[in-house]
Amino acid sequence: MDTIAPSNPNHDGNLITAEGISKTYQQPDHAGRLVLDHIDFTLKEGEIVAILGKSGSGKSTFLRVVAGLTPPTEGTVTYRGQPVYRPAQGIAMVFQSFALFPWLTVLGNVELGLEALGVPREERRQRAIAAIDLIGLDGFESAYPKELSGGMRQRVGFARALVVNPDILLLDEPFSALDVLTAETLRGDILDLWLERRVPTKGIIFVSHNIEEAVDIADRIIVFGSDPGCIQAEIQISLPHQRDWTSPAFRRIVDEVYTLLTTVRGREAGRRGSRADTLSLQYRLPDASIQQLVGLLEVLTVDPFNGRADLPHLADSEHLTTDDLVVLAEALQLLGFAQVGGGDIEITVVGRSFADADMLRRKQIFAEQLMRNIGFIAHIRRVLDERPGHAAPEARFLGELEDHLSEEEAGRVLETVINWGRYAELFAYDYDRGVLSLENP
């Protein structure tokens, strides 16, 4: 691996080949945390591949490995037969946050990449202006990014990527910071450029969190599972482009992906049994807010859903993003309030009784479900019960979480645990002292 492999002519028409990619992040205490687990992936010429997955499934990390921004711990990425150790020429990227340089004008931003490649001034200007025209930004050359709307900014992001005539385009949730209407227009424009072959790009890898968006433009969808990130499923989409979002074939694929994303898999739900198991499973609690959980249960019980809803339909009618809905559905399943299958979510008996109860009774049901289903919360309660002062510092539980999760993730999970526990009145929490206790606040 220390020598650069000679150009390999028979790379089987594969633009990108990733073999056995694993990524471990080093923790401060030197324990490694696995975020990507043996991923094999290829991008063929003329293909758009979408990568979907829950937050925390490592899909963005994987894209960065392919881009050469992050080295994998194990495995290799090759681009046209050449190993990728650093950003390779011919691969361009578009960022979720646009990542424009605020002190450069639109033209300056687009020219920057050419400048770095040493393209002469006149040619640089010509090519930049051509790219700006292509993406529909003519007239804005001298504007600064802060003068532009989100959609316009992302157009600059695309122009900047396309101006170097990239072979491969990597898109990291390029539309998710935009409102629905803007995202749709921009997506359509980009797809047109691709379909009409007005850009020399040979392949696109596209990380998304919007299922319909992915089904709309991808030739292939890869669904990432989490903890650690791995390829959970692969779906080939052979529908012709200009796809009809309402057609049964389209809806079927959307439902399929929804099911894959929202089902709490055996691997995560775990076998319930020994104490060690109840402690270790479900460490990564979805950070669903109580208000939203309650709201969603209430909506599910009444007309038009009456206890059962099609997930995409539910997302639409409640104005939830896919990410939000995935998190909520996961939480409802963990708590035993609902079940997910076949792209549908169905409320359980407990869920219904919760929705029907008054505020006090709801808290009781919620507490029972927490104690029954969330091992870590039951564990906290047990510790507090056993301690003479019925109090324990949060640092103790944070430490337990950090054995399994990254520091950031552990903090997030503890926050969710405290929120849920407080709502259920299982324990109290003093922010100033950082102490969990059984006192009434």
Partner 1 sequence: MQQRWGLPIVAWPSRLRPSFWDGIALPLVIGLIMLIAWASQQMSVPFQPGQSLEISLDPMELPAYALRTVLRMVAALGASLVFSLGYAAIAAKSKRAEKLLIPILDILQSVPILGFLSITVTGFIALFPGSLLGYECAAIFAIFTSQAWNMTFSLYQSFIAVPHDLREASRMLHLSPWQSFWRLEVPFALPQLTWNMMMSVSGGWFFVVASEAISVNNNQVLLPGIGSYISVAIDHRDLWAVGYAIIAMLVLILIYDQLLFRPLLAWGQRFKFEELGEEEIETPWFLMMIQRARFFHLMGLGVEASARWVSRASSRLPRPTRRPQAAPRHRALADGIWSGFLVLLALGALVEIADFVRAEVGWSEVLHVVLLGLLTLVRVVVLIALAALVWVPIGIWIGLRPRVARRVQPIIQFLAAFPANLFFPVVVSAIVVYHLNPEIWLSPLMILGTQWYILFNVIAGTMALPTDYQLVAGNLGVRNILWWRRLALPGIFPAFVTGAVTASGGSWNAAIVAEVAKWGDTTLQATGIGSYIAAMTEAGDFPRIALGVTVLALYVLLVNRLLWRRLYNLAEERLRLD
Q: Based on CB atoms, which residue is closest to partner 1, 83 or 270?
A: 83
Place of tokens 């749709």: 184
Binding flags for partner 1, 373-412, as an x/- string (CB under 8 A): ----------------------------------------
Q: Based on CB atoms, which residue is closest to partner 1, 99 or 302?
A: 99
C-alpha dist (Å) from residue 303 to 154, 299, 306, 307, 317: 40, 8, 5, 9, 12
The terminus-to-terminus CA distance of the chain in angstroms comes to 60
Q: Based on CB atoms, which residue is closest to partner 1, 4 or 360?
A: 4
Residue 141 in the binding site for partner 1 (CB under 8 A): yes
Binding flags for partner 1, 409-438, as an x/- string (CB under 8 A): -----------------------x------
Q: Find the part of the chain contacting partner 1 (CB under 8 A) among 103-111, 225-233, 282-290, 340-348.
A: 103-111
Residue 86 in the binding site for partner 1 (CB under 8 A): yes
Q: Based on CB atoms, which residue is closest to partner 1, 176 or 301?
A: 176
CB of 79 to partner 1, least distance (A): 13
| Residue 28 buriedness (CB in 10 A; 0-12 / 13-18 / 19+) | exposed
Residue 271 in the binding site for partner 1 (CB under 8 A): no
Contact 155, 94 (CB under 8 A): no
Residue 122 in the binding site for partner 1 (CB under 8 A): no
Binding flags for partner 1, 40-79, as an x/- string (CB under 8 A): ------------------------x--xxx-x--------
Total residues at interface with partner 1 (CB under 8 A):
41
Residue 160 in the binding site for partner 1 (CB under 8 A): yes
Q: Based on CB atoms, which residue is closest to partner 1, 125 or 313?
A: 125
Indicate which single residue of 9, 116, 240, 358 sits in contact with partner 1 (rule: CB under 8 A): 116
Q: Find the part of the chain contacting partner 1 (CB under 8 A) among 11-19, 136-144, 197-205, 302-310.
A: 136-144
CA distance 336 to 135: 49
Residue 117 in the binding site for partner 1 (CB under 8 A): yes
Q: Residue 308's beta-bridge partner residues?
A: 346
Residue 364 in the binding site for partner 1 (CB under 8 A): no
Residue numbers of the site for partner 1 (CB under 8 A)?
1-2, 4, 26, 30, 64, 67-69, 71, 85-87, 89, 91-93, 95-97, 99-105, 107-108, 112-113, 115-118, 141-142, 144, 146, 160, 432
